[in-house]
Each structure stands twice: as structure tokens, then as C-alpha cells.
Amino acid sequence: MKKSKLRHFKLLSTFLLIQMLSVSIGHAQEYKSFTPGEIWKDDQGTHINAHGGGLLYHDGIYYWYGEHKTAGRGGNRALVGVGCYASTDLYNWENKGIALPVDAEGSGSDIEKGSVIERPKVIYNESSGKFVMWFHLELKDKGYEAARTALAISDTPTGPFTFVKSLRPNAKTWPIDFPESWKTKSIQEKDLKAWTDQWKNEVSEGLFVRRDFEGGQMSRDMTLFVDEDGKAYHIHSAEENLTLHISELTDDYLDFTGKWAILEPAGHNEAPAIFKKDGRYYMITSGCTGWDPNAARSFVADDIMGPWESLGNPAQGKDADITFDSQSTYILPVQGKEGAFIFMADRWRPQNAIDGRYVWLPIMFEDGRPVLHWKDTWSIEIFD
Ligand code: DGJ
């Protein structure tokens, strides 16, 4: 073979070898857009496993934390822990491994293998330099009755995070603006027929707040929000998922201050996600239908502690009544793009939890309201 032909042959075979290698080790393509609801591969070529997630932007990098699910229906339980991915462009994600591993089965730990760990959110505390994770925790083999929030901390964004404690928040404290007369009402759950107007009215007047006063309020679906002044808030479904509670966290973000407020009493909201735009707070939530999708709701307030005003379903068009087959989990402010927010939601696959999909859509504003339109594909330039 002539020298030039030989060189050409060598180059070609090297190229083919690299191609074969990258296929065999599963390198994903480089993404340049979002494709909501489709398989979304990480740098290893594997569908991203970070469900019910939350994002943190730190030192030029986005970190995506979420529930690491496994195959089958049992895959909704925490068998592995909380996963972490990193990205600089929001399209392409590097798998950083498990940020918070579960403890061994039989260890008796709150976060032992087989517990339920949902909707982990991480915020960074400027003063302590700690990465602070709060998540919804259900104790092993107890269904959803524990209704606790749990804390883990780390010195680095990718972990490993150390589990600190789990609790029901706001024990022995009343919400702000809770009338004196409601604190001593004697009516109890057993005296009422659920879902009647009278029952709803009693829920609105603190039926469950009083019931849970001593031991702390229930805390299921949750999110975190850090305001411009550095104050952080823990927002969660409480009172048997009937009412949302908004609680201020201490300056180190490791505890509750005891200042908390009620949002939409008896409104049956889950999946809270919040953002702030032009000095106003906006929240998007879902109704409560288990893993099945339902119509989202939206709210606005001038003060995070309320009052909150309902703005209706933010989704528009086909499948708006099921939020495009998804449920909210987080709202991401896009760095460097004033007023640009991404609605992050989960399309759950309860029969095969690991196959759950991500529905990320741009939040647009129409007549002063946040709205969501379905997009088969879209990119950040939509905000320009
Ligand atoms: C809906 C919640 O939003 C999810 O996080 C999960 O808790 C499911 N319910 C469980 O049915």
C-alpha cells in the first residue's frame, strides 16, 4: 500500500474505532434543545435518574438533584438515594453519582433502604458554606403516614451529604394570622363528615393544625425557596395534603424559625414550585391524584407569607387539564436571562418508576399571569 493510502486507512480505522467505542460505552449525543417527555440521556448515555428534582446554580454550574428510581412499581421507594447531575448549559448533564445514599436495610435509620425519599431540594448557605438538602421522607413500611421533612448537609455540591434529622415542622407554634378563637375550638375530625362544606370550613379554621399542634405539622410534597435577602423558606403540603404551609427557615437553613403561614386551606394542593418575578411571588402547584396527572394551579402574592391570590390553571391548549401529563416539581430561574423561568415537572411512570420522564417548559407571561404552552422541542433562546 502506498504511504498516503496507508495514512488514510489508519485515520479511517481510528475514526471508526472511536465511533464504535463511543457507541459501546454509550456516549449520548450533544443536546442543543429540550424535548419534553422524551428519554433524556446523561453523559453516560443513560436516561437521567433524578425525579421530583430541584436545581441549584453554584459557581457557574447547575446541579440537578432528584429521586433515584429503580425498575418496576417498587422502584418508587428509596433503594439507592438522591442522585446528582451537573451541567453548564441545562441540556447536557454529567452524572455525578449519588449525593445522598440510603442507609443499609435493617439499620433502623430514618433513611434506610426501602424508605420513601421524595422531592429533594438543595440550597447553599453563604454564611456557613454548607449545601443544605431538605426532602420529603416517609419511614420504611409505613406508607405515607410519617409525613416528615428531612435534612442532610454537605461541604460540596455533589456530596456525599450527611443525614442530620427528620421531623414534623412547627410543633407548638401557631401560623401567623391564626385567630385566638380558632386555637381553642373543641370540634374534632371524628365529629365531622369528610368533604362536606362544614368539614371544609373546619379545616379552614384549623381542624388539623390543632390536631398536629403538639407533634408538629405534616410535611409531604415540598420545595425550598431562597429570597433575595438570603432568607429561605420551606413550602410543603400539610394537613393530610389539604393545605400548604410556608415556613421560614433559620439563617443557617438547618431548622424552622416557627414563623409560618397557611396557603389555600382545604385547597388540596401538592407539588409546590415557586419563583419571584418583578418583586412578586408566583407559585404553581397540582391537585392531589397520586401518580396520575391533574390540572395545575397558580397563585400570586406580594409577600411570601401571603395573602395569595389564585390565578387558575397556568397550562393552555391540548392536555392542559392534565398539565401535559406531568406534575410540577421546581421552577428554575435561568442564569443571565432576566425574567426567564423554566417549569420543571415529572411525567410519572408508577409501573416502572425508572422510566419517568421530565417535562420542562418555558414559563411565559400573558396578561400578568404565568402560562405554559406545550412544546415538542424548544431552547433557551425562546426567552430572548
Ligand atoms: C404525588 C406526589 O406529588 C408525589 O411526589 C408522590 O408523593 C405521589 N403523589 C405518591 O402517590
Q: Looking at ligand 1, which atom is closest to the CA of residue 116?
A: 7
Would you say residue 151 lies in a domain?
yes
Q: How far is the CA of 290 from the centre of ligand 1 (A)?
A: 5
User: What does the pLDDT read at residue 25?
Assistant: 44
Question: What is the rounded CA–CA span in Å between residue 318 and residue 340?
Answer: 23
Q: Tell the residue nearest (CA) to atom 3 of ligand 1.
A: 271
The answer to whether residue 176 sits within a structural domain is no
- The Cα 161–Cα 155 span in angstroms is 8
Which atom of ligand 1 is the closest one to the Cα of 237?
3
Q: Tell me if the pTM is above 0.75.
A: yes
d(CA 64, CA 211): 36
Write down the H helix ranges in the chain: 3-24, 180-183, 197-204, 207-211
Instruction: Give the atom of ligand 1 at the shortest distance from the alpha carbon of 286.
Output: 3
The predicted pLDDT at position 261 comes to 98
C-alpha of 148 from chain center: 15
Distance 242 CA to ligand 1 centre (A): 14
> Does a structural domain hold residue 158?
yes
pLDDT in tens, 185-237: 999 999 999 999 999 999 999 999 999 999 999 999 999 999 999 999 999 99
Q: Would you say residue 146 lies in a domain? A: yes
Residue 314 inside a domain? The answer is: no
pLDDT tens string 297-329: 999 999 999 999 999 999 999 999 999 999 999
Chain-centre distance for alpha carbon 144: 17
123: containing domain: 47-167
- Residue 150's domain is classified under what CATH number? 2.115.10.20
25 C-alpha to ligand 1 centroid (Å): 34
pLDDT of 334 strictly over 90: yes
Domain count for the chain: 1
pLDDT of residue 29: 73
pLDDT tens digits for 79-99?
Answer: 999 999 999 999 999 999 999
Q: Distance, CA 20 to ligand 1 centroid (Å)? A: 41
Find out whether 118 and 136 touch, Cβ atoms under 8 Å: yes
Q: Which atom of ligand 1 is nearest to the CA of 52?
A: 5
Residue 130 covered by a domain: yes
CA 64/CA 360 separation, integer angstroms: 13
Ligand 1 site residues (CB inside 6 A) read: 52, 118-119, 221, 270-271, 290-291, 327
Instruction: Let me know if residue 84 belongs to a domain.
Output: yes
Residue 71: inside a domain, yes or no?
Answer: yes
CA of 21 to the centre of ligand 1 (A): 40
Q: How many angstroms separate the CA atoms of 326 and 345, rounded?
A: 6
318 alpha carbon – ligand 1 mean position (Å): 24
- What confidence category does residue 2 fall into, taking pLDDT thresholds of 50, 70 and 90? low
